[in-house]
Structure 1
């Protein structure tokens, strides 16, 4: 099925922040969206008319638990009458601290939520995506994957792993017409971090450091995800697309 525009896309971490924006943008593009989150809630601030028109639905799921994933995808398949044509691995956590004293348990928690879960969710979704005859997985990485950032060894390592997972799955699953792309945002302003990004030293730093003049908006990410699902063709796969205002390449 070359045209995936009538399918269902699964979005993890879809109840708030960038995940909520992605889910709503995909719904506006007339995809059906299955929203996974721990709370099992529809995206915050969702247009209920839009949700009803596209038959968007929410399911509670712990992406770090194999049984929860299996049950969630079985429920998605039973709920939708459309093929599952996409997966957006958005859920994750960000813990930081000095590397000399950062608890190994916290390091493992970050790796589990940000990297291992990307593989586990993709693996669970695989048979459904393969049956669709044409599908796309979008992973949410970070431009931190190519930087050395003090106090962020776990986060940087986890996002570098997302890029590697993307490349490996793209090569291995191409025969099943499943493409895999990694989106690596820089600083993106959301309801969760707006105050932090627009006050004090960090605001001044970002204005000077980001060539485009400051943090991006959630629409910069959600719009790109929606565009990728609407692009024709099967040749773009395995790549990391940086959405960081040029910060990661600027001297």
Structure 2
């Protein structure tokens, strides 16, 4: 099925991993408000934890439980969402991830591998599961959620930084391989983003004071900032931009 315009694209389904809370939940809600059916994948299988009163928006959610590090689990969830949506899969947002830290001289290899699997291998697993469905549309988009840590040296974060750098590399490789199939692939790399999971730690104390001085725009972003950029990538027409990493960090990563 070939899509000729965004009005038709909005009639399709987009799958979001890690959609039950935080940035993933904000992305799911924003895409649903744009008119997409949204497959909400998470380990719990819960709907996005958002204050949504509209029954119309709720009706656009399809929740499914899966482990993004397990290939069979992800494939089953993706196929189930597509079947239940009864409309073409036009997009995938690889948002699910894990953050653990520790000193590089004693970081257990098992911890390093766990972060790499959750943050990077999962991107390939979900993209492979979605690929047959995305290819059928002739016009589809994958958005991976990376981090501006991919270009920084951050103490105690060797695993996380490496995993997010890998997300950028996977984005570029898949973008050039699947471009001929009409599939665009992008990497959104946020900086510090306040969510329900970390809002308190970012709102007060030494970290808050540091970020207020370090981020040129004055402090952390919010989940909706990421969600709106993701929405934009799904509503762009044309195929010529692909494989790019888009930094959303208030200028922190480039500031002296």
Counterparts of residues 177-216 of structure 1 (less than 5 Å): 177-216=182-221
| Correspondence for 2:82 among 61, 67, 77 | 77
What TM-score do the two structures reach when normalised by structure 1?
0.97
Contact 2:26 2:50 survives alignment (8 Å): no
Contact 1:2 1:133 survives alignment (8 Å): no
Alpha-carbon distance between aligned partners in 2 of 1:188 and 1:245, rounded to the nearest angstrom: 10
Contact 2:168 2:187 survives alignment (8 Å): yes
Contact 2:32 2:57 survives alignment (8 Å): no
Alpha-carbon distance between aligned partners in 2 of 1:104 and 1:53, rounded to the nearest angstrom: 41
Alpha-carbon distance between aligned partners in 1 of 2:213 and 2:189, rounded to the nearest angstrom: 21
Change (3 A) 1:247 1:22: same
Aligned to 2:17: 12
| 1:46 positional shift | 4.7
Aligned to 1:58: 63
Aligned to 1:152: 157
Can you give the 5+ residue segments of structure 1 that lack an aligned partner in the other structure? none
- The SS at the match of 1:242 is strand
Give 4+ residue runs of structure 1 displaced > 6 Å after superposition.
none
CA RMSD of aligned residues (A): 1.1
- The SS at the match of 1:70 is helix
- The SS at the match of 1:182 is strand
What TM-score do the two structures reach when normalised by structure 2?
0.96
- Larger mean Cα displacement after TM superposition, 44-53 or 186-195: 44-53
Contact 1:9 1:31 survives alignment (8 Å): yes
Contact 1:185 1:221 survives alignment (8 Å): yes
Can you give the 5+ residue segments of structure 2 that lack an aligned partner in the other structure? none
